[in-house]
Amino acid sequence: MTTSPTKHDENSYDRLTELKQFDESKLGVKGLLDSGITTIPRFFHQPPENLPFLKPKITKSKSTVPVIDLSLERSTVVDQIRKSASTVGFFQIVNHGVPVKVIESVINDMEKFYEESNEYKMKFYHRDAAKGAAYSTNFDLFQSQGASWRDTLQVRMGPLDPAWDLVPEICRAALADWDKAVAVLAEQLMSLLCEGLGIKSEKLKELLCLEGRLCISHYYPHCPQPELTMGITSHTDPGVLTMLVQNDVGGLQVKCGEDWVDVEVVPGAIVINIGDMLQIMSNDEYKSVEHRVLANNVERARISVVVFFNPSIREKTYGPFPELISAKKPAIYQELVLEEYMKRFFAKGIDGRTLTNVYRIHNTNG
């Protein structure tokens, strides 16, 4: 059991200084763990409202994240994806055509990087994502109420060529193979999602939603005090579509109503979720839902590799598809400039709030 900080502790605690010291050390959470700590630094403590362990559920939710077999009849797959995207906002796919070897290689090579020596990893540690690749702990480290227990490598894969010289050589080839495979799969998925909306199947492709790709790998090592922090706090994804692969260490949860549901680890499956932009484009037909990752309470690290898909032209205005707007169902969202939306998202950090409500049109007539 942990004890509350004493009055003296409160007066002597300088959060900003401790954050700067940690960030400048370039150790990451893996380096902290390797140093032999048995308690986590205080800036990793989450505010009580973020901690699931303080709100035990008596009943277990019956909701689940569907697993969809892409080898079934196309009409069946369209229907299953439409149903999942419009309710849970998440689904897993199997028989998707991405070789198991490609998935295993990207997970294994990312694990090799994170478990390299501190000296090696420090060469890549910085926060300037504009350079095209960055390894750090929590992109919102200095904005968040409490840091999360994970390290991250992010690489811009498109529309510009990846900055491979800033990417650890140990995982370059696997990331390139993974990106090539998911770009093909994403085209298929976007086509199916468009059909589910009853619009032209190439609509998302024509808006260049396959071109803006960001690959992010998260490493969640064992946490000595998992009841005090999170792997990632609750959030929605700002983009169009998200694709994720994970190793066999669980922890990913999706919010279904008021309950949190575990995303089952299905060997070889790819996890798909709808982002804020697709919720807006679909005029609320598809749902971008809150999800989170619990702090890792087992010895083995959790590893995930995620690709976020966005339109490549960020200066353009986006809004609900005109085909989905009618007198019976008017536009629910105002149009927005993607660049401004993304700036707002990264400025606020991962705080559990979705930005979609900022752009929602409120009907004053009732």
- The amino acid present at 250, given as its one-letter code, is G
- What's the whole-number average pLDDT of the chain? 92
What confidence tens digit (pLDDT) does each residue in 105-139 have? 999 999 999 999 999 999 999 999 999 999 999 99
What confidence tens digit (pLDDT) does each residue in 59-104 have? 455 568 999 999 999 999 999 999 999 999 999 999 999 999 999 9
Tokens 């190793």 belong to 247
Question: Please, which pLDDT band fits residue 6 given cuts at 50, 70 and 90?
Answer: very low
Tokens for 81, please give them.
């994806």
Q: What is the DSSP string of 86-120?
A: HTTSEEEEES-S--HHHHHHHHHHHHHHHTS-HHH
Structural domains of the chain, ranges and CATH numbers in brackets: 19-359 (2.60.120.330)
Ramachandran quadrant class, 226 (left: phi over 0; alpha: psi -120 to 50; beta: rest): alpha
Answer whether residue 239 shows pLDDT above 80.
yes
pTM value is 0.92
- The amino acid present at 65, given as its one-letter code, is V
Tokens 């009943």 belong to 59
Least confident of 128-142, 143-157, 333-347: 333-347
Instruction: Tell me the C-alpha distance between 295 and 303, whole Å.
Output: 12
DSSP-H helix ranges across the chain: 7-12, 15-25, 28-34, 74-86, 100-114, 118-122, 169-197, 203-206, 276-281, 338-348
